[in-house]
Amino acid sequence: MSDDAFERVLAYVESEMGFATSHYNDSYLDRRVTSRMRRTDTPSYEAYLELLREDPDEREALLGALSINVTGFFRNPDVWAGIREVMRDLSAANESVHVWSAACADGREPYSLSMLAHDDPEIDETSVHVLATDISEPALETARSGVYEESRTVDLRDQLAFLDDPERYVERDDRRYHVSRAVRRNVTFERHDLINDEPRAGFDLVICRNLFIYIDADYKRSMLDTISQSLLPGGYLVIGKAETIPPETGSEFEIHDSRLRIYRRDPDARRRRR
Ligand SMILES: C[S@@+](CC[C@H](N)C(=O)[O-])C[C@H]1O[C@@H](n2cnc3c(N)ncnc32)[C@H](O)[C@@H]1O
């Protein structure tokens, strides 16, 4: 009975609120819905569906809860130490290095990459081109502005501690951090939906972290296909530390560093033109 009502909540969210619940796994959706039910003191899925129908504010609050936009500068610093090594190798071997930060949220991931390139003497920052994409326009708007606000829950100074001298890359005015023009120059933002849009081409490295965990297994496969077609043979892929590549797609990738979840596309795979 209540499973049925949960399905009806999801159907309503998909058809009336325009959020593609079918792309996400049920346990993730259930966690978000039940957290809104607790907040609104709603005893059952049936009652919550009624609330959604009646209350536009609750529809908005649920959409906010469903958009998974948690991110940060240099999230998981140990992974960034691994990315630094990959970037050094790519920079040494290529005149230009093309990186795709896919599902980049508010831009702190691609800016971390650009900061790293500027900071590390073994990476030629003038050769680094970062494409940063996300499905969410509001996230991209913040990303393009390059302005981030410190709050009770967001400690930007701590996030930037990966760098010896973060002040070279951000200007601080009170609680706001402005990413420098030089760092922003290496990054281009575009909207891209990893499930429905076409692959890109010609990337040496794709960073796609902390999206797969929310995605239903079928869509996860098609996202990985999109990424693998976008990578050059021998190109690198970094996924989130809590994520895995399903075995059936695993054959396209070999493990470069299993702990840090860094993979390489099969060097003998066919090259796709940019
Ligand atoms: C948890 S954030 C990850 C941000 C960053 N990669 C990180 O690890 O810090 C997940 C992002 O995936 C985006 N997203 C959700 N569905 C997507 C899709 N189908 N295609 C592209 N991005 C998507 C969300 O808008 C959100 O910004």
In this prediction, residue 269 carries a pLDDT of 74
What pLDDT, in 10s, does the model give residues 178-228?
A: 999 999 999 999 999 999 999 999 999 999 999 998 898 889 988 999 999
Domain layout of the chain by residue ranges: 2-66, 77-265
What is the arithmetic mean of pLDDT over 127-154? 92
Cα–Cα distance, 209 to 178 (Å, whole number): 24
In this prediction, residue 137 carries a pLDDT of 87
Q: Which amino acid is at 118?
A: H
Residue pointed to by tokens 């996924």: 239
In this prediction, residue 245 carries a pLDDT of 87
In this prediction, residue 258 carries a pLDDT of 94
Atom of ligand 1 nearest to the CA of 194: 20
Please name every residue paired with 30 in a beta bridge, in sequence order, or none if there are none. Answer: none
137 lines ligand 1 (CB under 6 A): no
- Distances from the Cα of 65 to the Cα of 32, 156, 168, 257, angstroms: 6, 22, 35, 33
In the predicted structure, residue 80 carries a pLDDT above the cut 90: yes
In the predicted structure, residue 129 carries a pLDDT above the cut 60: yes
103 lines ligand 1 (CB under 6 A): yes
Query: Which is more confidently placed, 174 or 232?
Result: 232
Q: Report DSSP letters for 105-145, one per residue.
A: TTTHHHHHHHHHHHH-TTS-GGGEEEEEEES-HHHHHHHHH
Atom of ligand 1 nearest to the CA of 70: 1
Q: Which CATH entry fits the domain spanning 77-265: 3.40.50.150, 3.30.465.10, 1.10.760.10, 3.30.930.10?
A: 3.40.50.150
Q: Report DSSP letters for 213-268, one per residue.
A: GGB-HHHHHHHHHHHHHHEEEEEEEEE-TT----HHHHTTEEEEETTTTEEEE-TT
131 lines ligand 1 (CB under 6 A): no
Average pLDDT, the chain: 92
Residue 104's Cα: distance from chain center in Å?
A: 4
Q: Which of 53-62, 71-80, 139-148 bottoms out in mean pLDDT, i.e. has the lowest?
A: 53-62
Distance 243 CA to ligand 1 centre (A): 14
In this prediction, residue 262 carries a pLDDT of 97
In this prediction, residue 140 carries a pLDDT of 94
